[in-house]
Amino acid sequence: MQKLTERLVSWASLIDDKTVDQARTSSRMPFIYPHLALMPDAHLGLGATVGSVIPTLGAIMPAAVGVDIGCGMIAVKTQFHAPDLDGRDLAELRQQIERAIPLSAGRDNRKIVATAEPRVAELEGLAEQAEFDPATYAGHWRQQLGSLGSGNHFIEISLDENDDVWMFLHSGSRGVGNRIAQHHITVAQRLAKQWWIELPHPDLAYLVEGTPEFTRYIRELRWAQHFALLNREEMMDRVANQLGRFLDTPVEERERINCHHNFTESEMHFGKRVWVSRKGAIMADAGRPGLIPGSMGTASYVVEGKGNPVALNSSPHGAGREYSRSAARKTFTHEQLREAMAGIEYRDTDAFIDEIPQAYKPIDRVMADAADLVTVRHTLRQIVNVKGD
């Protein structure tokens, strides 16, 4: 860990000057307490740095939470082992999963299936308690439950160091969460202009605790976080169903972990109750299970938190980009992607060039930097990868 300023600490050994400057700017906001913590995967983000833990007193910056509210990971350990998959066509399994779950931006379910019905009902009840209608943001939000999205979202079948089979996926609150986030970012920016508040960057606009705008944001934020969690559960149930069909045996869950990495919670740190916004970071309280994926084609990790107080009980959420999407597409080729994905069943298309492992920080370096934040319980190697364009 490196102390960059009195209000900025970093666990990132691979980090560029622009990212440090962005984090330093955020750390100077007057309500940061006690300091902003950069995780090993930190990289440049919108307004606030991705891979940062931002504790605030009496205010929240909606853009510092991110537009994919509640984005995170879920993993399930099954009873299956590598030999159960020997001699089977993994392309068939990939295609079954792709048919069961809508992929890519803007793709939703055509109907609400039986497994989604109770989850939709639960979200309807929570929205009523929060006194808002999600349909004002996305009229088809019910159909979004159980859909993956695009970008770095993925579904994987993996093997751990004991050759046990795991199901692993990454997604968030989809279009409805994005609309909720964008709305409140706009509200915060409008209020800053209304009250003549000078900001170092428009995306550092904030909402003040105790105001109607803050209260509404927290209610809708928590709803979107729960939508994201249930969205992952719904997809995981569908993946389990397809894996069970593929192997002619229902999946038996041996372990399930579901964690956010774009979210805000009220927590106690350094003697004060603060709002902790983790933008690309997971909770890592002592003993808490967590998930840290690598990039497409690399290892992922099942971890246990160490409860590092200086890191505000947090750890990285993944590998962290080194190349922007546009830069990656200019730098790397389809053939390089194929080489990186050798031995892994995936949809071979140049649409995924910007997700090539070389566009990200080496995950083993990130995990080495996180040695005093988490303990590695399992190392997963993917054998099937599903992504949306």
CB count in 10 Å sphere of residue 293 = 25
Residue 274 domain-assigned (yes or no): no
Q: Is residue 216 part of a domain?
A: yes
C-alpha of 266 from chain center: 19
Structure confidence at residue 252 (pLDDT): 98
| DSSP for residue 367 | H
The parent domain of residue 160 ranges over: 70-259+285-313+328-386
Our measurement of the distance from residue 324's CA atom to the centroid of its chain's CA atoms, rounded to an integer in Å, reads: 17
List of the chain residues with pLDDT < 50: none
Q: Which CATH number does the domain housing residue 224 bear?
A: 3.90.1860.10
Show the tokens assigned to 204.
Answer: 């550092």
Q: Does residue 38 fall inside a structural domain?
A: no
CA 334 to chain centre: 26
**How would you classify residue 345: left for phi > 0, otherwise alpha for psi between -120 and 50, otherwise beta?**
beta
Would you say residue 5 lies in a domain?
no
Q: Does 2 fall in a domain?
A: no
Task: Write the DSSP string, 197-248.
Answer: ---SSGGG--EETTSHHHHHHHHHHHHHHHHHHHHHHHHHHHHHHHHHHHTT
DSSP 8-state symbol, 143: H
Residue 77 pLDDT: 98
Integer Cα distance of 45 and 35 in angstroms = 18
pLDDT given for residue 106 in this prediction: 83
Which H, E and C letters describe 314-345, residue by residue? EEECCCCECCCHHHHHHHCCHHHHHHHCCCCE
Number of structural domains the chain divides into: 1
Asked if residue 13 belongs to a domain, the reply is no
Cis? peptide before 62, omega within 30° of 0: no
pLDDT at 381: 97
**Domain contains 27:** no
Q: Give the per-residue pLDDT at 105.
A: 83
Residues 37 and 308: their CA atoms lie apart, in Å, by 11
Q: What is the pLDDT of residues 25-37, one digit of tens each?
A: 999 999 999 999 9
Over residues 59-116, the pLDDT tens digits come to 999 999 999 999 999 999 999 999 999 999 999 999 999 999 999 888 899 999 999 9
| Residues acting as catalytic residues | 317
Examine residue 159 and state whether it is found in any structural domain, yes or no: yes
Global pTM reads: 0.96
